[in-house]
Structure 1
C-alpha cells in the first residue's frame, strides 16, 4: 500500500473513531443529565438500592436514543457494542471512551478514567445480592431458582411438598385467590417440616388476589341429564351410556347421578328395566346392571334426555314392579355464543347474563348481555377502546358507554363462534381504570401473609400509588422483613415499569414477575416476546430479579408430555432469576425436567451473553451425544 493510500486510510479510521467517540460521549452526557433529573426520587430510595436506582436511570437515558448505528460502528471498530451494558451502564460507556481516546492518541479525561460506583464487577454482584435476598440462594448446579404453585390438596399431602423440596423447589407459591388461611397454614407447616428433615431452605411467597375483572354469572340452562352411548364411525354402539340412580333427597357425589323415588331402588334387581319417555317424547329403556344400598347402576344403547318429573316404570320380565319420578337435577352450565359482527352489552352488577333474544322474524330483539360487578369499569372506559374476554379469545371495541352498561361490537372470536362463560377475565388494555390494586380481601389476607411469608406478590399493580398502599399496610403490620414482588400483568404496568421500580426500591428486597398470560392478552401476543425482553433489560439495569411466569411447561405439568415450543420457552426462562411452575398432576416430573433444562442452558447463556464453553460437536470426527 502506498504512503498516500495509507495516510487516507488512517485519516478515515481516525474520523470513524472520532465519530464513535462523539456518539458515546453524547450517551454519557444524557445519562448524567438524567441523574440530575431523578435526584428527588433517589432521596427516597433505600440506601442499599440507591446506586442501582442511579444505574436504572442511566440506562433509561441511553435507551431514549436509537443506538443501533453507533453499535454497528463500534462493532466494526472491534470494540464493545454496548449490548451488555444493563447492569453497569456508566462503566460500559467509560470503558469504550477510554479505548477510543487511546486509539485517537488523546489524553483520557479524568472523569472517564475513574471507576463509577457501579462497575463490571459490582453491577452483577448487586443483582446477585438482591436476588438472594428475596428468592433465596441458588441451588447447586444452577443459578435460576424454581417457584412452584401449590394445589389445594397439598395442604393434606405433606409427602408431595417434601418431594418438591427434595427435587429442587426453591420457593413455594400460594395463590390467595384460592383456598383459605386454614389451608395455607397447613401448606406452610408441611414445608417447614420438610425443610428440617431435608436440611434445605425453601421460601414462601403469597400472591394477593387483587381486583378481578371477570364476567358475572350466566342464567342457568335447563336441568337435564344427557345420556349418550359411544358409537364408532359407522354409528354402531361400542359402549353404552351409563348412569347411576340414587335415592331422591340424598346428596349425589356426581353431576350425572339421577335422584329417583326410593321405591324404585328398593325393588330393583339386576336384569330389570326402567321404561320412560324422555324430554323429546322418545320412548327409552334403562337396563339395571347392578344394585347397591341406596343406588343402582343402569345402562342404555339409545340417547336420552332426562328431566325432573320424568316418570319411570320398573319392569321385570312382563310385569310392572314399581313406579316413580325423577327428582331435582343440576342445571346445565350455559354460555353466550358470539361471533364477529355480534353486539354484546356489559351490564353493571351481577344479573345473570344471557344470549341474544330474537323476534319471530329472526331479528335480534335484545342483544346478548353479561354482567360485571366492578364500578370502575363503567366510569373508566371510552368509546373506541378495545375490550377482551377470556384471555383474548373474544375481542371487541366499545361502541357505547352509559352509566350502567357498555355496548361492545365483537371484532374477533376464536373459531367461527366462541363461547363466553361466567368467571372469565376481562381486559381493557387502553383504558384508564381508577381501580385500587389492594382490595378489602387483600388487606385481610395480608395479616396472615405477614406472619408466614418471605415475600408477597402484588397483583394488578398499575401505578406508584398502588405500591404506596401496600407499603402502608405492611407498615401497619410491622412486617419490614417482607419482600415485595410486582406482578406486571397489564399494559399500563409495563409502560410505567421504571416508575414502579423506583417506587418499590424504597422497600427492598423486591422482584418483578412477568405474568405473561394477562400481559400477552393486553399487549398482544405478537408483542409479548419484545415486551418480555424489555422487562428483563430494565430489571437487570435496576439490579432487580425477575420471575418468569405463566404456562411454563404446562402441557407436561397437566398432561405428562411437553411440547417442543414449551421446552424452548422453558430454556428462555434462564434469562430470568426464577421460573414459576403452575400446579398439575405431573408437577413433580415437571420440576425435575425444568431443573435439567436450566442446568444445561446455563452452561451456554447468561442473560443476553453467549458463554462459549467447549462444544464436543465442534471436534472433527466427534461421535458423542449432543448432551455430552
Structure 2
C-alpha cells in the first residue's frame, strides 16, 4: 500500500509539472495563435499542447499510470489537455486531495470535440464520406481519363471520392476534359467527388543521356533446352509510306517499296547481321500494307543492313530509333554530376577495362550545386542508387557510388535525385507552378504543394492564391523531404491560417530522404502530429501498386493498404487494373473500419470467439469440477 501511495504521488507530481509546461507553451505562442483561422483556433492550441507533452520521455510515467489502472496517455492526440486533466482528477481522488477545475481561459478540446473537429475538417477538405466507409479513396488520373469518359464513370461508381490530377503530366486541355468527365459522371452516378491538383514543384532529376546505337535485336522464343518455340515476327513495310502492323510485331522495319512489292509468301530473305552472322528470314505472309517474315535465329540489325532476295535483288533497311542509353553503376564507381544539360555518357575504359574517364550526367536544377557539401549523401531513381559527394567543383560534383546491387544498377535520364543532407534553397513554386495556379484556382477543390519544406513555402503559395482573387482551393502539404518532415508543425500552423488544409504522406521520396528503415516511424509521427492538429491525412505512394499494374496484389501490400485506415484518405496511383484496385481498397477499408479507429482497437463482437467447441472449454466453477475429465 505504501508503494502504491508513493507511485500515486510521483505520478501526480510529474503530470502536474507536465501540464504547467503545456499551458505555458501555448501562452508564449499566443500571438501566432491569433493568426489562425477560427476553424482551427482550438485545434492549433491542442497541437501546441501535444508538442509540449511530447518534448518529454513519457515512458516511465506511462508504466506508472498503467500500473494504477489509469490511461497511459497513448490516445491523447486529438484531446491532449483534456486527457491529462482527466488523469489528474483521478490521481487527486486516489491521493485524497481536492481537484480544482482548470480556469476558463484554459478551455480545452475534450474527447468528443476532438473527434468532431477532425471529422468536420475532413469533410471540408475531402467531401462527405461514402456510406459504410469513413476513409476516402483518392485516385490519380491517367492521360486516358481525358478522352475516356467511361473510365472516370467506372472509377466513381467503384468508390473514388477524390480525383487527383498531377500537373507534372499532360496539359490544361487534358485536365479540363478530365474534370468535365467527372462532373458528367457525378450526375450519372449520384455521387460527389473532389478535384485535387498537384503542383509539379521543383523536382530534381537527371539530365539527358547520349542516345545509344540504332540497333534492334530480333530474338525467337526458346524452351529451356534452347529449341525454338516461336519464331520472331518481323513486319516489313514501305519506307516513306509505312503501314502499322496488323498484329503485334517483335520488330518493324522500313524497306524500299519497289523491293517490297516483289516479295511472295514462301520466299526467303538472306542477310549478314551486325555481328557478321549469316541469317535467313522466311516470308510468312504478304499483305497490302507490308509483309511478315519470321526469324528462327537471334539477329542484330542496324540501319543500312543489306537484305537479299533471289528475284527482287538487294535492299537496305531504313532508319531505326536509337536505343535508350543508360549508365551502369556499381558500388565503388565514380560518377560526375554536371551543371549543364549536355547529354551524359557512360564511363570510358581502356582495352583492359580500366576507367579512363568516369561516367557523367547532368541535373535539371543546377542551382543545387551552390548548396551541396562534400560528405553529403545523394540518391538516384527512388533510392535504387546511392552515393556520397566527394569533391565539389564550380561546374561539377564527383560522386562515389556506395549503394547499388553488386552486379550494378542502370541510371537513366529523367530519374529523381535526392539530396537529404544538403540545405537546398529551392523555391517551392516553379514558373510552371505559378502558370498552372490560375487553372487550379478555377477548377480544383484542393491544391497540393509538392516538396513543402518550410512555413515560408506555405505562405508563398497562400500569397499567390490571394493575388489571383476569387475562390481559393484548400492547400494540402505534401511531406516528401526530410526538411518537410522536420518543419511539419511550423508549416501546419501557417496552413491553419486558412479555413481548410490537409497533409499528404508522400512515402516515395520521403523514404529515400529519411531512410527506408525509418519510414514506418516517420509516417507514424506525421499521423500523430496531424491528429493533434485535427488535420486530415492522405496516405500515398505504392498503395496496391502491384495490383493496379499487373492485376495481382502482393501479400505485403494488402497489409499496407489495411494500415491506410489510420489516415483520412488513401491514394491509389494509375495502372491498367486501377478499377480493381479501387474495388479491393474499398473492401479493405470497410472491413478495417469495424476493427480500428486511428490507434484505438474497436472491440466489436469477434466471430473467432465463438469457434471454440463447448467440450474444449474448461469450467472453473467448483460445483462442476466433478464433471471435468481426469488429467
- TM-score range (shorter-chain normalised) is over 0.9
Q: Please give the root-mean-square deviation of Cα atoms over the aligned residues, in Å.
A: 1.6
CA distance in 2, matches of 1:606, 1:574: 8
Unmatched tracts of structure 2, length 5 or more:
615-631
Q: Distance in 2 between matches of 1:456 and 1:487?
A: 10
For residues 195 and 272 of structure 1, what CA distance do their matches in structure 2 show? Answer: 59
CA distance in 2, matches of 1:546, 1:183: 28
Which of 397-406 and 357-366 deviates more? 357-366
Instruction: Give the Cα–Cα distance (whole angstroms) in 2 for the partners of residues 247 and 477 of structure 1.
Output: 54
3-state SS in 2 of match to 1:395: strand
SS in 2 for 1:267: coil
Q: Distance in 1 between matches of 2:353 and 2:306?
A: 35
Superposition deviation, residue 252 in structure 1: 6.7
Deviation, structure 1 residue 244: 0.9
Spell out the pairing of 1:526-605 with structure 2 (5 A cutoff): 526-605=517-596
1:362 is displaced (CA, Å) by 3.4
In the alignment, structure 1 residue 355 sits paired with structure 2 residue 311: no
The Cα shift of 1:415 comes to: 4.6
The aligned residue for residue 62 of structure 2 is: 71
1:489 to 480, 493, 499: 480
CA gap of 1:270–1:506, structure 2 versus 1, over 3 A, is same
1:78-106: CA deviation from partner (whole Å, max 9, x where unpaired):
00000000001110111110111111111
Show the counterpart of 1:292. 287
- TM-score, normalised relative to structure 2: 0.94
- Flag the 1:257–1:525 CA change in 2: closer, same or farther, 3 A: same
Q: 2:23 touches 2:106 (CA, 8 Å); kept in 1?
A: no
C-alpha separation between the residues in 1 aligned to 2:431 and 2:410?
Answer: 32
Distance in 1 (alpha carbons) for counterparts of 2:512 and 2:231: 42
Q: 1:248 to 1:53 in 2, by over 3 A?
A: same
Residue 50 of structure 1 is aligned with which of 20, 41, 46?
41
Equivalent-residue separation in structure 2 for 1:156 and 1:374 (angstroms)? 33
Partners of 2:79 and 2:108 within 8 A in 1: no
Size of the alignment, in residue pairs? 610
In the other structure, the counterpart of 2:372 is 381
Q: CA deviation at 1:373?
A: 2.5
**1:157-216: per-residue Cα shift (whole Å, max 9, x none)?**
111111111111100111111111111111100110111122211111001111111111
Q: Please name the residue that 1:134 is paired with.
A: 125
CA distance in 2, matches of 1:115, 1:29: 11
Give SS of 1:242's match. strand
SS at the partner of 2:425? coil
Partners of 2:140 and 2:164 within 8 A in 1? yes
User: What displacement does 1:600 show?
Assistant: 0.7
Matched with 1:270 is 265
C-alpha contact 1:90 1:116 (8 A) present in aligned 2:
no
- In 2, the alpha carbon distance for the partners of 1:453 and 1:468 equals 19
Instruction: Provide the rounded CA distance (Å) in 2 between the counterparts of 1:251 and 1:380.
Output: 51
**Does residue 1:181 correspond to 2:172, yes or no?**
yes
Q: Separation in 1 of the partners of 2:63 and 2:76?
A: 15
Distance 1:115 1:471, change over 3 A: closer
What does 1:383-402 align with in structure 2 at a 5 Å threshold? 383-402=374-393
Aligned pair in 2 of structure 1 residues 591, 362: CA closer, same or farther (>3 Å)?
closer
Aligned residues of 2:141 and 2:164 also touching (Cα < 8 A): yes
Q: 1:259 to 1:344 in 2, by over 3 A?
A: same
The answer to whether the Cα contact below 8 Å between 2:255 and 2:315 also exists between their aligned partners in 1 is yes
CA displacement, residues 229-276 of structure 1 (integer Å, 9 cap, x when unaligned) = 111111111111111112122457589311111122111111111111
Q: Is the 8 A contact 1:98 1:113 kept in 2?
A: no
Partner of 2:606: 615
Aligned to 1:5: none
Structure 1 stretch 358-367 or stretch 30-39: which is displaced more? Answer: 358-367
In structure 2, do the counterparts of structure 1 residues 622 and 322 end up closer, same or farther at CA, with 3 Å as the change threshold? farther
Residues 120-175 of structure 1, C-alpha deviations (whole Å, 9 max, x = no match): 11111111110000001111001100001111111111111111111111001111
Cα distance in 2 for partners of 1:200, 1:415 equals 52
Q: Measure the CA separation in 2 of the matches of 1:34 and 1:403.
A: 45
1:446 aligns with: 437
For the residues of structure 2 that align with 1:265 and 1:555, how far apart are their CA atoms?
44
Q: Using the alignment, how far apart are the partners of 1:389 and 1:289 within structure 2?
A: 46
SS at match of 2:261: helix
Contact 2:536 / 2:567 at 8 angstroms: preserved in 1? yes
CA contact (8 A) 2:377 2:389 kept: yes
Who is 1:310 aligned against?
Answer: 305
Instruction: Report the Cα offset of residue 321 of structure 1.
Output: 2.2
Residue from 431, 445, 449 that aligns with 1:458: 449
Match in the other structure for 1:4: none
Do structure 1's residue 121 and structure 2's residue 112 form an aligned pair?
yes
1:82 alignment counterpart: 73
Matched, 1:410 2:401: yes
1:3 maps to none
Identify the residue that residue 277 of structure 2 maps to in structure 1: 282
Partners of 2:233 and 2:250 within 8 A in 1: no
| Alpha-carbon separation, structure 2, partners of 1:322 and 1:100 | 101
CA distance in structure 1 between the aligned counterparts of 2:303 and 2:432, rounded to whole angstroms: 39
Secondary structure at the residue paired with 1:376? Answer: helix
